[in-house]
Copies of this chain bind each other. A is one copy, B any other.
Amino acid sequence: MAVIVQKYGGTSVGTTGRIRAVADRVVAARQGGHDVVVVVSAMGDSTDDLLAMAHEVTPAPNPRELDMLLTAGERIAMSLLAIALNAAGYPAASYTGSQAGIITDTSHGRARIIDIRPGRIEEALGRGNIVIVAGFQGVSTAYDVTTLGRGGSDTTAVALAAALGAEHCEIYTDVLGVYTADPRSVPDARKLHAVSYEEMLELAASGAKVLQSRSVEYARRYGVKVHVRSSFSDEPGTWITEEDVRMEQAMISGVAVDTSEAKITIEDVPDRPGVAAAIFGGLAAEAVNVDMIVQNVSHGGVTDISFTAPRDDLPRLRAAMDAVLSEVGGVRWSVDDEVAKVSLVGAGMKTRPGVAADMFGALAEEGVNIEMISTSSIRISCVISSADADRAVKAIHAKFGLNTEAEGRTVHTGEVPAIPPPEGP
């Protein structure tokens, strides 16, 4: 029997009533003739509640023990779902990350999956069980419980789908799919039928929050077809798959915005070999995640270097900056944390000249100043003032006709407004 993996996020299992509704959906998949493996997140805000308790004890909880604590959340959700399925007459058994064979490295709080040993899951499926697996967690090579970081349940689901050779992986969430832009700022944004792994990766990296980059990267590496859809609706969502012939017709997938970064500028840096390596090596050593980097041409032997980094990393950045500057001889540096990165993503732009010019034109017509530009073969990103972000997205979305179903499939993204759950918490 073909296996499908379904993953339900925290909102989808936020109450015992919602868990019963999820059980109905799982049963439907089972009745549809599939072996079903279900990956669950913790109920609603329970992970945040556990984290708050840890912080009542100390501001800096021991990482191993924090992982032990947080994994209680999925344990509760998964056993309640298994209870609901058994009560409905469908044999179901739940497994922790460790029992499911999710083997990780030893980086507590942000562990990476290094192996999947799904023997117990396959055996349980073989006995006719629906299998429930705790998302977000695994067991390390040192036999300790680990967590995969925020959004890790998506990665658990995709990794299990790959290991089990699943037909596809369904990611149930509180939005209907991937949109051409965030419908909260662009009311005529459309839901995409499909998007390629590469586009989804660029979108996730550009601020679309519907899926974590890691899970998309995993899906791409193992060719797992992912269907992102809402657990509050029967409507089809968005497929994330290999680029296909039909997709080639599309030019642009969508517009994404990221307002979580700050722009840092270092002025009058001596323009000699090794300067960039010194700056960014120094920041990497302090675990500052640098995103875009722009270096201007040299004037009089000095240049300016600008880059973006998560605002959350600013405390570490500030601590590292003096050492970095003393090494490279830079003089002044400044932080602008009122910036936004607007990105246009589309597999079709590889073969279509003029996309960048059209995007810059849309911004110019709105009077939006571009502070930095960075591109990949399927993405163009501009850093602008955060005050301009909303107007910029609307203008770009309209410029590329993303609101109309042009060229077969058009395209997508961003965070999408939650459809209210049918019942309270």
Contact = CB atoms under 8 A, between A and B. Distances in A.
25 contacts: A16-B53, A16-B57, A19-B57, A54-B79, A54-B80, A58-B83, A58-B84, A58-B87, A62-B82, A62-B83, A62-B86, A62-B87, A62-B92, A65-B92, A66-B83, A68-B75, A68-B94, A69-B75, A69-B76, A69-B80, A69-B83, A72-B75, A72-B79, A99-B143, A120-B143
A65 B50 contact: no
A69 B16 CA distance: 13
A425 interface: no
B87 A60 contact: yes
Contact of A57 (B50, B66, B68, B84): B84
Contacts of A79: 54, 65-66, 68-69, 72
Contacts of A87: 57-58, 60-62
A76 B68 CA distance: 8
A129 to B, nearest CB: 11
B94 A76 contact: no
Interface in A76-115: 76, 78-80, 82-84, 86-87, 92-94, 99
Interface of A: 16-17, 19-20, 50, 53-54, 56-58, 60-62, 64-66, 68-69, 71-72, 75-76, 78-80, 82-84, 86-87, 92-94, 99, 120, 143
Contacts of A62: 82-83, 86-87, 92
Contacts of A56: 16-17
A82 B62 CA distance: 8
Contacts of A93: 64-65
Contacts of A57: 16, 19-20, 80, 83-84, 87
B61 A76 contact: no
Contacts of A82: 62, 65, 68
B53 A65 contact: no
Return the 6 tightest CB-CB contacts between A and B, nearest first.
A58-B87, A69-B79, A62-B86, A68-B79, A16-B56, A65-B82
Most chain B CB atoms below 10 A, which of A75, A84, A93, A99 = A75
A92 B58 CA distance: 14
Nearest to A99: B143
B99 A83 contact: no
A145 to B, nearest CB: 8
Given A65-B93, A66-B79, 12 more contacts: A53-B76, A54-B83, A58-B87, A60-B87, A61-B87, A62-B92, A65-B83, A68-B78, A69-B83, A71-B75, A72-B76, A72-B79
Contacts of A64: 93
A334 B61 CA distance: 60
A76 B56 CA distance: 13
A62 B91 CA distance: 9
Contacts of A94: 65, 68
A69 B57 CA distance: 24
A122 to B, nearest CB: 15
A83 B120 CA distance: 32
